[in-house]
Amino acid sequence: LAKTTQPISMDSYEGQEVNITCSHNNIATNDYITWYQQFPSQGPRFIIQGYKTKVTNEVASLFIPADRKSSTLSLPRVSLSDTAVYYCLVGDKESGANNLFFGTGTRLTVIP
Amino acid sequence: DAGVIQSPRHEVTEMGQEVTLRCKPISGHNSLFWYRQTMMRGLELLIYFNNNVPIDDSGMPEDRFSAKMPNASFSTLKIQPSEPRDSAVYFCASTLDVGGAGANVLTFGAGSRLTVL
């Protein structure tokens, strides 16, 4: 199981860029990195997925260094509505349930 | 598409009663997952199906829990008999797994909040 380590919590002011880093030192060659967002009383929602370098979509960017032992989710100019728990998952389909393992996540609180 | 639909949204029952949670995955998705979330243990994968066949049920807590997927558009998670420690939010998720490289991207339902008194 490719274990991930994230900060338990983070605070940020509105309008700032937020970077959440996830460590995955034993990531396997075929593993992908997937991030989810969960609001209170809702199920997790897919944000972004990547394998290497940088991936960007309309919601966030994902930065993955060459060694792939960590990844950083970047949220540009956060608003109060970005307050949520963010989960980093590592694995691929061949690893079965391993790519479906949610750790403790990072609780982001956006402050007015 | 209406997304992953779960019912009931809330259920309160007494210890010893049977509980049945239901899930309708997104049409066309071929994989379905059941998770349980509590404050103490976070999100736990209980079981997942691929093409209606259970693939991994190692997360099912004990024999009191059972899950079925009789067809591609319906799944149930049953707890019999229920206990107070089963109180949690149960999520169902689905995805279209076409094989190949990459990791599954799941679409979650809104969850079923179970309280066992």
If pLDDT is split at 50, 70 and 90, which confidence band does A106 have?
Answer: very high
A28-32, A94-98, B1-5: the lowest-pLDDT one: A94-98
Put simply, whether A6 touches B (Cβ < 8 Å) is: no
| pLDDT, position B62 | 85
Place of tokens 């598409």: B1
Residue B17 has pLDDT above 90, yes or no: yes
Determine which of A8, A100, A101, A106 to mutate to test the interface with B (most B C-beta atoms within 10 Å): A100
Average pLDDT, chain B: 94
Interface of A with B in 74-103 (CB under 8 A): 87, 89, 91-93, 96-97, 99-103
- Please write the tens of the pLDDT for every residue from B37-85: 999 989 999 999 999 999 989 899 889 999 999 999 999 999 999 999 9
What does the pLDDT read at residue A1? 54
| Separation of alpha carbons B78 and B19, rounded Å | 6
Residue B113 has pLDDT above 90, yes or no: yes
Closest CA to B6 of B38, B34, B47: B34
In this predicted structure, the answer to whether residue B14 has a pLDDT above a threshold of 60 is yes
Based on its alpha-carbon atoms, the radius of gyration of chain B, rounded to whole angstroms, reads 14
Asked if the C-beta of A52 comes within 8 angstroms of chain B's C-beta atoms, the answer is: no
In angstroms, the CA B54 to CA B51 distance is 8
- Hunting for tokens 């979650």 — which residue is that? B108
SS3 B82: coil
If DSSP codes are grouped into helix, strand and coil, which group holds residue B19? strand
Which tens digit of pLDDT belongs to each residue from A22-70?
999 989 898 999 999 999 989 999 999 999 999 999 999 999 999 999 9
Q: Chain A: nearest CA to B100, how far in angstroms?
A: 8
Residues in CB range of B112: below 8 A, 6 or more apart: B6, B7, B8, B9, B10, B11, B21, B89, B90, B91
User: Would you place residue A83 in the very low, low, confident or very high pLDDT band (cuts 50, 70, 90)?
Assistant: very high
**Percent helix, strand and coil across chain B, each rounded to 5?**
5, 55, 45
Is residue A104 pLDDT above 70, yes or no? yes
Q: Is A35 in the B-facing interface, judged by CB distances under 8 Å?
A: no
DSSP strand pairing (B88-95 vs B107-108): antiparallel
pLDDT digits (tens, 9 = 90+) for B80-106: 999 999 999 999 999 998 777 788 899
- Give CA–CA dist A64/A52, Å, rounded: 5
Distance CA A70, CA A89 (A): 11
Amino acid at A41: S
| Residue B11 clears pLDDT 90, i.e. is over it | yes
Among A44, A92, A103, beta carbon nearest to B103: A92
Across the interface, whether the CB atoms of A41 and B111 are under 8 A apart is answered yes
C-alpha span between B114 and B117 (Å, rounded):
10
A2 pLDDT higher than 70: no
- CA pseudo-torsion sign B51, B22, B40, A12: positive
